Amino acid sequence: MENIEREEKKLKSSKKSLLAKDQELYQEMEENDLKISKEKDEEQDEHFPPSEDILKDEVDHEKALEHIKSKCKFKQEYVDNNIVLSVNHLKQYFSFGSGISKYKLKAVHDISFQIKEGECFGLVGESGCGKTTTGRSIIRLYNITSGSIYYKGYRIGAGSRWNEKEIKYTKIRYKAKVKELAEKLKNNEISKEEHDKELAEAKTYADNIIKVQKAKIKQIKYDDSHVDPNLMREIQMIFQDPIDSLDPRMTVETIISEGLQIQGFHNKVENHKKVVEALERVGLIEDYANRYPHEFSGGQRQRIGIARALVMNPKFLICDEPISALDVSIRAQIINLLNDLKDEMGLSLLFIAHDLSVVKYFCDRIAVMYFGEIVELASSDELFKHPLHPYTKSLLSAIPKPNPLTEKERVRIVYNPREVHDYSKEKPRLVEILPGHFILANNPEIEKYKKEIEELDLKLEADNK
Ligand SMILES: Nc1ncnc2c1ncn2[C@@H]1O[C@H](COP(=O)(O)OP(=O)(O)OP(=O)(O)O)[C@@H](O)[C@H]1O
Ligand SMILES: [Mg+2]
């Protein structure tokens, strides 16, 4: 740890001219990756070098957590602020093809949000915007590309893409410097001593960056292979499709108890008890345990999916569109059930949906996602009071109104980013426009949105009079 700090200090004091040159090269090489520089500050203190020790198998849970805390990345400030889950600059890319036809799909591109203990956080967006991918990354079904995820202060996932790129670009920059110095020497612009001195400085600078980044990558890998399984058990996910997510060849009992078996609970009698308890919790009966998924209705299957998550006694539940495959009457039942469970078990929830009407009353805070990015994030009331982003407005305009007279007048707003945003001069960033209300915008847009807030407030005042 001390060594790395020393190395980092040395790095900072290295030549300023080199830094300026670096910046130019960065811009030339990949414009998009400049966005990553946002992560730079955060990632700088992200990782410290791992010690050689490994966790002993035979330590109890508390001791294991203490042990992990001392070896892996842990952020006390999340615990102090009651933040149960923190997603920081999460990126999840998928690669396809090979050779020249290889391309990358940016399913999730730089999203950050935090969920407090007992909170219900809604993630809303159109199909394919990366909601499920976010949920799956949290439960570690994917190795995340970049960014980090913290649960109860422990880092449960991190990606090393940024660090790998830093190493790659450092090598490129070093090679460019060597070439530049050789050129200067050839043209007699510098003496041999100056050349050697500058070359040695550049080498030390590059070596130090590479050393630090390699240590950080090592730490990410170390953390990744030492995530506490008991901690991960607290996070459960209700999967999107109630039909496909249940294996048709397994009985309900096997489906629900599978997680327990994987976690090392092999006592059949105990497991059966837990299965029955979970079934009863979701309003099903013991007899259903021996039946197969195809023998149930859609709503019942969704309940089985919920029971499968509940049997693990979760503290954090990710509900991936748990009601979108269901008809309206069953939707209300499932929402009520989740609401009851939330109070009963003190759960924190990440509720994924594709329309705002579902999350309006159920969630405390809502994040609106579009094409892998969060475009607006606010408390539920605030979002409905001041919907600012054109995509949020578009989602709101899609909600049918209960009154047939006003429903007739409802105008559907179509969101076309190319028409409404001009990001050619200035790129957007997530800004806190009102306390707790974040929006993806650039400076001219921020001014526009501020005016809109004033107008909305005036309108509200006039309506209330
Ligand atoms: N395992 C995977 N491999 C490759 N691409 C994937 C994978 N999972 C998701 N994607 C792609 O990532 C993008 C986001 O998918 P995701 O399932 O997260 O969307 P979603 O917001 O949950 O959509 P929906 O509302 O339809 O469920 C899609 O374009 C999808 O094709
Ligand atoms: Mg999905």
Q: Which ligand is nearest to the CA of 142?
A: 1
- The residue whose CA is least distant from atom 12 of ligand 1 is 107
- For the range 265-274, what are the long-range contacts, defined as Cβ-Cβ under 8 Å and sequence gap of 24 or more? 274/311
Mean pLDDT of 354-367: 88
Write down the pLDDT at residue 297.
87
Query: Closest ligand 1 atom, CA of 372?
Result: 14
Write down the pLDDT at residue 70.
66
Write down the pLDDT at residue 437.
96
Given pLDDT bands bounded at 50, 70 and 90, which one contains residue 135?
very high
SS3 category, 440: strand
SS3 category, 259: helix
Write down the pLDDT at residue 56.
36
Given pLDDT bands bounded at 50, 70 and 90, which one contains residue 346?
confident
Strands 373-379 and 83-96: unpaired
| CA–centroid distance, residue 59 to ligand 1 (Å) | 39
Q: Under 8 Å CB-to-CB from 122, ≥6 apart: which residues?
A: 351, 352, 353, 359, 362, 363, 365, 366, 367, 380
Strand partners, 379: 365
Query: Closest ligand 1 atom, CA of 354?
Result: 25
Looking at every residue in the chain, the average pLDDT score rounds to: 84
| CA–centroid distance, residue 409 to ligand 1 (Å) | 34
Q: Which of 93, 105, 350, when mutated, tests ligand 1's pocket best, judged by the most ligand atoms within 8 Å of its CB?
A: 105
Read off the pLDDT of residues 394-449 as tens digits, 9 standing for 90 and up: 999 988 888 888 888 888 889 999 889 999 999 999 999 999 999 999 999 999 99
Write down the pLDDT at residue 4.
58
Over 70: is that where the pLDDT of 148 sits? Answer: yes
Radius of gyration of the chain from Cα atoms?
A: 26
Residue 141 beta carbon below 6 angstroms from any ligand 1 atom:
no
Helices (H), 31-125: 37-44, 61-71, 76-80
Over 90: is that where the pLDDT of 81 sits? Answer: yes
134 exposed, middle or buried (CB, 10 Å; 0-12, 13-18, 19+)? buried
Query: Closest ligand 1 atom, CA of 125?
Result: 21
- The residue whose CA is least distant from atom 19 of ligand 1 is 128
Q: What share of the chain is helix, strand, coil (3-state, %, to 5)?
A: 55, 20, 30
| CA–centroid distance, residue 79 to ligand 2 (Å) | 30
Residue 105 beta carbon below 6 angstroms from any ligand 1 atom:
yes
CA distances from 41 to 16, 37, 178, 454 (A): 18, 7, 28, 34
Mean pLDDT of 335-351: 88
Read off the pLDDT of residues 235-293 as tens digits, 9 standing for 90 and up: 999 998 878 889 999 999 999 999 999 888 889 999 999 999 999 988 889 999 999 99
Query: Closest ligand 1 atom, CA of 94?
Result: 4
Query: Closest ligand 1 atom, CA of 131?
Result: 21
Write down the pLDDT at residue 152.
94
Read off the pLDDT of residues 98-132 as tens digits, 9 standing for 90 and up: 877 888 899 999 999 999 999 999 999 999 999 99
In percent, the amount of the chain with pLDDT more than 90 equals 55
- The residue whose CA is least distant from atom 9 of ligand 1 is 133
Element (H, E) at 170: helix 161-186
Supply 194's token pair: 């100056």
DSSP annotation of 265: -
- The residue whose CA is least distant from atom 31 of ligand 1 is 128
Shortest CA distance to 355 belongs to which of 325, 390, 324?
Answer: 324
Write down the pLDDT at residue 356.
87
